[in-house]
Amino acid sequence: MHTKGNSCCCSFEDYKLTTEWLLNQTSHRPKIAVICGSGLGLLADGATNKQTFRYQDIPNFPVSTGAWSGHEGCLVFGTIEDTSCVFMQGHFHLYEGYSLCQVTFPVRIFKLMGVESLLVTNASGGICPDFKVGDIMIIKDHINLPGFAGQHPLCGPNDERFGIRFPCMSDAYSKDLRRLALDVGSELGCSDFMREGVFCMVSGPNFETIAEARMLLILGCDSVGMSTVPEVTVAKHCGLRVLGLSLITNMVSLDYSREEKVNHEEVLQTSKMRAEVLQKLVTALICRYQQQSINTH
């Protein structure tokens, strides 16, 4: 696999080879793929019958820049209540220097493996003044700011085997899955800190200036982060259902007189605090997902 500029130069054969390699190595046939955001790698802990592959051992898979610690940089297959799942522990960011083709590579592998739904979790900064640190935001819609500037994962020749040239994005986040998340959240007693909102992607790596944050608020963004949108865009393109959960790890400063500054420590601390709740939520969601598909088929 090679990349040129920001357009995708992975061929269909590259994706196929990686898929075949994985299917040869595991008997899991996942229906749900989960991308675990920062500090949320533990989401896979609830799974049984686990099988783990390091990214570096998977052919064509992008490899970590080494910034990850602990269990990140692994693809974990596992079962949650009869539902076979695959978890990405650690994902790739534009700001690390990966091309968008590399960032979204795993999503197309999931599609070719037979995955139906993609669940993305991530940390983001709260813009909506009603939000609080520790809130879990169900992503209702997004603004692809890098995409506006041509940093778009679907730029370049379109492969019809994945999807059409001009895909619809107005329903990128599945209404059914969003409703399911709200229901499950309320059953688990999370309603007080669950929200729905619009996520905006910026490339990073710096956090927003105050003027930028104010601009995002005016544009209708509820939270802002440095990932997720390319993966969701590629997932929607190839027909996966998507659910996005974003943990509000800090509030973005909209005020010049505010003294606190955002730091990565704060982000990690909050992730840790809510990681357990999110894991319960994701596990319950996956259980209910299975029941729901049985009911509707």
Chain residues that interact with ligand NAG, rule: CB under 6 A: 17, 20-21, 24, 37-38, 91, 122-124, 225-227, 267
Q: Does residue 117 carry a catalytic annotation?
A: no
Q: Which of 84, 99, 227, 271 is catalytic?
A: 227
Q: Which of 84, 99, 122, 250 is catalytic?
A: 250
Q: Which is nearer to ligand NAG, 20 or 176 (CB)?
A: 20
Element at 287 (helix H, strand E): helix 264-296
Q: Does residue 213 carry a catalytic annotation?
A: no
C-beta of 25: minimal distance to ligand NAG in Å? 8
C-beta of 17: minimal distance to ligand NAG in Å? 5
Report the alpha-carbon distance of residue 150 to residue 104 in Å, rounded: 16
Report the alpha-carbon distance of residue 259 to residue 265 in Å, rounded: 17
Which residue carries 């619009």 as its tokens?
198
Contact in structure between 287 and 80 (CB atoms under 8 Å): yes
C-beta of 122: minimal distance to ligand NAG in Å? 4
Q: Which is nearer to ligand NAG, 83 or 110 (CB)?
A: 110
Give residues with Cβ within 8 angstroms of 248, minimum separation 6.
Answer: 123, 124, 125, 126, 131, 132, 133, 134, 135, 136, 137, 223, 270
Q: Does residue 24 carry a catalytic annotation?
A: no
The Cβ of residue 297 has, within 10 Å, a number of other Cβ atoms equal to 5
C-beta of 158: minimal distance to ligand NAG in Å? 25
Report the alpha-carbon distance of residue 247 to residue 151 in Å, rounded: 25
Q: Which of 60, 71, 203, 212 is catalytic?
A: 71
Q: Does residue 95 carry a catalytic annotation?
A: yes
Q: Which of 226, 235, 251, 275 is catalytic?
A: 226
Q: Does residue 264 carry a catalytic annotation?
A: yes
Alpha helices in 190-247 (DSSP H): 210-218, 229-237
Q: Does residue 98 carry a catalytic annotation?
A: no
Q: Which is nearer to ligand NAG, 21 or 158 (CB)?
A: 21
Q: DSSP letter for 7, please.
A: B
Q: Which of 88, 123, 172, 284 is catalytic?
A: 123
C-beta of 201: minimal distance to ligand NAG in Å? 8
C-beta of 246: minimal distance to ligand NAG in Å? 8
Contact in structure between 229 and 102 (CB atoms under 8 Å): no
Q: Does residue 297 carry a catalytic annotation?
A: no
**Residue 102 phi, psi dihedral angles, 5° rounding:** -70, -45
Q: Which is nearer to ligand NAG, 24 or 48 (CB)?
A: 24
Q: Does residue 284 carry a catalytic annotation?
A: no
Contact in structure between 134 and 274 (CB atoms under 8 Å): yes
Q: Which is nearer to ligand NAG, 86 or 163 (CB)?
A: 86
Q: Which of 81, 96, 212, 266 is catalytic?
A: 96
Q: Which is nearer to ligand NAG, 17 or 155 (CB)?
A: 17
**Residue 107 phi, psi dihedral angles, 5° rounding:** -60, -40
Strand partners, 126: 223, 251
Residues classed as catalytic:
38, 71, 93, 95-96, 123, 226-227, 250, 264
